[in-house]
Structure formats: C-alpha cells, structure tokens
Amino acid sequence: MRRLVILVSGAVLFFLSFNVFAQDQKKESLVMDDIYVRETMPQRIPVPYPYLRESDMMWTKVVWRIIDLREKINHPLYYPTQLMQDRVSFVQRLVDAIKYNEISAYDPAVDDEFTTLLSYNQVLQNFDALDKSKTQQSLFSGLDTTVTVKGEIRWGDVKELLVKEKWYFDKNYSTLQVRIIGICPIRHSFRTLQTGSGEEEATGELTRTRLFWIYFPEARKVLANTAVFNTFNDAQRISFDDLFFKRYFNSYIVQESNVYNNRRIQEYTYGGVPNQQESDRIKNDIFTFEHDLWEY
C-alpha cells in the first residue's frame, strides 16, 4: 500500500512539473504555418553608421530616456507577452540572444557603463524566474515532500525600457544626430504588504527592477534580423533595428549628463509635473541648440 502511494504521488508530481514545462516552452509547428517562406528578414544586415572623427564632434550630450511600453505607439516593442511562432517581443529576443551567447548582458546594479557581465542564470534571477524548491505535505502519506517549481519568465511584467543615448552635432555633415548606446528593460512587480490585522489595512508596493543592460551596437545584428509586427500589413514588416534607427517610439527624458554625478531629474525636482517640465526643458534645449546654429 505504501509503495502504491509513493507511485501515485510521484505521478502527480511528474504531471505537475510536465505542465509547467509545457507552459514555458513553445512547441514547434509540424507544418509550415504560412503560404510562403520568409527569407528577407533573416538575411538583413544593419544599416552601417557613418564614420565619425573626434575633430568633427562640435557638441555632444548623453541622455537617458524611458520608453513606456504601455503606450499604444510602443506596443510593437511590448507584444507578444506569450511565446508565439511567427513573432517575438523585443525583450524576448534579447533574452534568447543572451541565452545562446549572441550578445552580452551587463549588470545594471553596478553601473550603466557596461563594466560587469551577467550570466543567463543571473538574468533569470532578476526576472525571478529561477527554479524554486518548496516543501509541502503529501496528500497521501502525510509526509513532507520537496517539490521543484519550475521558474517562468512573465514577459508582461516588463513595462519600460531605459535607453542611454548620445546626441551630437557633426560639423562634417552639419546635422544633429543621435546614437543609442545601451538599453535596459525594467520589470514591474507588485508586492502586497500587510500593515494590520484586517484585510482593509493591506496595501501594496510597486517596485521597478532593472533586469540587464545590452550594448546596442553589439545587438544591432540580432535586432536587424528580427521582424516587428505591422498592424496594417503582415507582408511588410520592419526590424527592431529599423524601429530604433527611425525613432518609431515615444519616450521622455529622465536624466542627462551633468556635473552632479549624472544625477537623475527626480533627485533635484519634486513631483510628477516638475519632473515632466524638467524633461521637456532638456528636450527643448537640444532642439534649440540645433535651431540656433542656422541663420534664416
């Protein structure tokens, strides 16, 4: 009888672990789920940047900005939030590239200057997606049993992207240009805090976790081969590299290079409206600088 109980409990644990694994992995199609083979996007290469000389750099400024993926214009970066066959989200593609050593991940807890590498397991740890061991009582034998709960990345929790970029005026071309240096996904998690004995006294806390930095010039080859969903035409899709190159996103500035240890806007202003006003001021200063270089 004891042997039968052990076999039944083992079968239940296997069934549970198999279900978790099946949810985490997307099965491949057994047939071609299309009417033609898409060959253009996998063969694309990034548009090369023009060569820059230090003597042509008349003016530069480093800016950090937030891309809120919940805005409608930024949805092509956010969706899909589950694994699909024909498309992936921006963060899904980055994590896959880190997993298979196509690009490197850097620790955001140290700095934003790409000084410390992160392993794939450390990236999963930042996602809170590592396997966890849990002790629970068996329904059949009454004994404590250790169960391994397989970790799962919740793609929908990544709500923002932190972008580090450099604006510069190249006097050789007489244009103000911008190049993205790095991108850091930010995960939102909500933790319930019990402040009293009653349910009405429970409150919550929203935390924003920086997951990893990627060096954008290194990731351009990967992003150039990954298609972005086109709402109007499935046959004509651009790549993630095109999306950033053409600035098809909306964002707001949260930090600029400054003498005060590159302090963020929220460190010297107070409240949402003053933060937004300071962000708009920095944006307007960049526009005004280019505008004032010309005579009309």
pLDDT at 3 over 50: no
Task: Using a cut of 0.75, tell me whether the model's pTM lies above it.
Answer: yes
Region 207-228: what's the mean pLDDT?
95
Query: What integer pLDDT is reported at residue 227 of this predicted model?
Result: 93
Name the β-bridge partners of 188. 208
Flag whether pLDDT at 5 surpasses 70. Answer: no
Average pLDDT of every residue of the chain? 85
pLDDT of residue 138: 72
Mean pLDDT of 250-269: 95
Which pair of structure tokens corresponds to residue 112? 């934003």
Type of residue found at 173? Y
Q: What are the sequence ranges of the domains in the chain?
A: 57-129+157-292
The whole-number pLDDT of residue 136 equals 76
**DSSP tag of 152:** -
Quickly state the pLDDT bin for 9 (edges 50, 70, 90).
very low
Quickly list DSSP for 56-125. Answer: GEEEEEEEEEEEETTSGGGHHHH--SS--SS---HHHHHHHHHHTTSS-EE-TTT-SSS-SEE-HHHHHH
CA distance 263 to 127: 26
pLDDT band at 7 (very low <50, low <70, confident <90, very high): very low
Instruction: Give 138-163 pLDDT, tens digit per residue.
Output: 777 777 777 777 888 999 999 999 99
Q: Which DSSP category does 283 fall into? A: H
80-122 residue pLDDT tens: 999 888 889 999 999 999 999 999 999 999 999 999 999 999 9
Q: How many CA atoms lie within 13 A of 229 on its CB side?
A: 16
Top-confidence residue, 204 or 261: 261
